[in-house]
Amino acid sequence: MVPHPVVIFLILIAIVIALSALLSLFGAAVTFERINADTHEIETATTEIRSLLNADGIRFMYVSLVPNFMAFTAVGLMIAAMIGAGVAEESGLVTALIHKLVIVSPRWALTYILAFVGILASVAADAGYLVLIPLAGIAYLAVGRHPLAGLALGFAAVAGAFTVNMLIKPLDTVLVEFTNDAAHLVDPSTSIGLASNIWFSIASVAFLTVIIAFISDRMIEPRLGAYRPQDAAAGTTTDQSTMLGEQESRGLRFAGVGLLGLIVVFCLLTIPSWGPLRNPGTGELIGDSPFMNGLIGLIVLMFLVTGWAYGIGAGTLRTLTEVVGAIEKSIKSMGGTIFLFFILSQFVAYFTYTNIGTVMALSLSGVLQAANIGALPLLLGFIVVVAIIDLLLTGAIAKWAIFAPVFVPLLMQLGVEPEAVLAAYRVGDSPMNAITPLNAYFALVVGFAQKYDKGAGVGTIVSLMLPYVVWLFVLWTALFAIWQILGLPWGI
């Protein structure tokens, strides 16, 4: 019963415009200290609400219409990913892989495998949203389960646990660097490393895998009931046999050869010290390197190469013309989503321009800082504040640039390690990603859901994700509190 997503964001745009004018009229502003992302020095800054109804605001809305959309990186990532994913899906590779997974895995384990892989997908930045979530829906459909339950599972895993992983990922380098800058305000000799949260992250991945899978099996899927293929949107394939034929088996062998060849090429580009995908200055591969910064390219090539190789082997996509046709078909299907992204990009740009989210975040952090309570209650309060602000400011780096210089020094003076503060931030920053419409990929998930249920909308996704958000937040916070009380090491 929730209106169309486009209508919702048009209403939100109107609210932001009116609210910005009202708050600006009353001179709403806040002064704070932050870390300069370029110099890593602490600087004092004042942020005030900027009106969208004065001359500057009107000019901004008029001239930024196209730039806002062009700067919305989710669009480019989505289209790029669909180039490869479209070939893999049209050739039948995705379905064959899911069928193979279903055959070799016990039915009860499928949910846990998808949840685990979804959490680990954050090592590829946002690629998990574009690849894992639709795959989870297809996997559930392949075994006769409700595909919306699979989509919800994938979204909860990718978004709800985005800040933790069993591997070091590019996001960690920035978060740790900002943490050290803030810690040096109190003790210049105190620094933490990239693996400073690794033990807590590994434990969190295992813990959250079980929680997400349990919620999916015991709460979400029973509520959805049996799937009705007639609810699917026109053109959606809902006939998913779990048996592999000879052509499919041959296609998978060809796909394996294609994947092996791609791996060899990328090994030559990355393993040698002179590899062009290494950082040209430091030589590092993991962290700030062309390989990690352009990882979406590897994802696209992986699906493109293996999809075409599968198509040749299975006889579904033999010529380059057929491959191009598959790509065109996948991109045409995103017309509604791209239009929604156009509206969403305007809302995000207007909201950022007004500084409403920044002022709210700093005001809440100031209240918490002045509460004068113990270390653990302050850490738990910090988690709550981060979670609330994540509904409005979803960028993990932007929020930490503001929070780190406030809470890291404050808690260090109470005897709390910087790595504990960073771990608390990871807990607060993740679960709300699965429910806030300001998540750049929320609209994409709505689009995925509409393939299997043409009546699905924002309300559908919100209702599906609420149990995940509540239980992930409560139980993950409890794990953090126990970890802190027991004094367990956060990492290396």
* pLDDT at site 2: 52
- With H, G, I as helix, E, B as strand and everything else as coil, classify residue 287: coil
**Torsion angles phi and psi, residue 104, rounded to 5:** -85, -10
| Residue 205 pLDDT | 96
Tokens of 296: 């979406």
Partners of 34 in the β-ladder: 43
How many CB atoms lie under 10 A from the CB of residue 424?
26
Please give the angle made by the CA atoms of 48, 53 and 54, to the nearest 5 degrees.
75
Rounded-to-integer distance, Cα 386 and Cα 398, Å: 12
Rounded alpha-carbon distances, angstroms, from residue 180 to 37, 90, 259, 343, 395:
13, 48, 40, 38, 19
Residue 471 makes CB contacts below 8 A (sequence gap 6+) with 211, 215
Q: What is the pLDDT of residue 37?
A: 65
* Residue 231 DSSP symbol: G
Degrees to nearest 5, angle at CA 421 with 417 and 426:
140
What is the C-alpha to C-alpha distance for residues 468 and 471, in angstroms, rounded to an integer?
5
Tally of helices (H runs) and strands (E runs) in the chain: 22, 2
Compute the chain's Rg from CA coordinates.
23
Written as one letter, the residue type at 403 is: F
Give me the residue label for tokens 């639709």: 134
Task: Report yes or no: 347 and 17 within 8 Å, Cβ to Cβ.
Answer: no
Rounded CA-CA distance 423/419 in Å is 6
Residue 438's closest CA among 307, 341, 372, 367? 341
Report the alpha-carbon distance of residue 483 to residue 419 in Å, rounded.
Answer: 12
367-417 pLDDT, tens digit each: 666 666 778 888 998 899 899 888 877 777 767 877 787 778 778 877 789
pLDDT score, position 378? 85
Q: Give how far the C-alpha of residue 247 lies from the chain's centroid of Cα atoms, to the nearest Å.
A: 36
Query: How many Å apart are CA 447 and CA 452, to the nearest integer?
Result: 9
pLDDT at 366: 66
Q: What is the mean pLDDT of each run of 10 residues along the chain (492 residues)?
A: 71 91 89 71 82 95 91 72 80 76 76 90 70 83 88 93 83 82 78 89 96 95 86 59 74 94 93 88 78 78 91 90 87 77 82 78 64 80 89 76 76 84 94 85 86 85 94 97 94 87
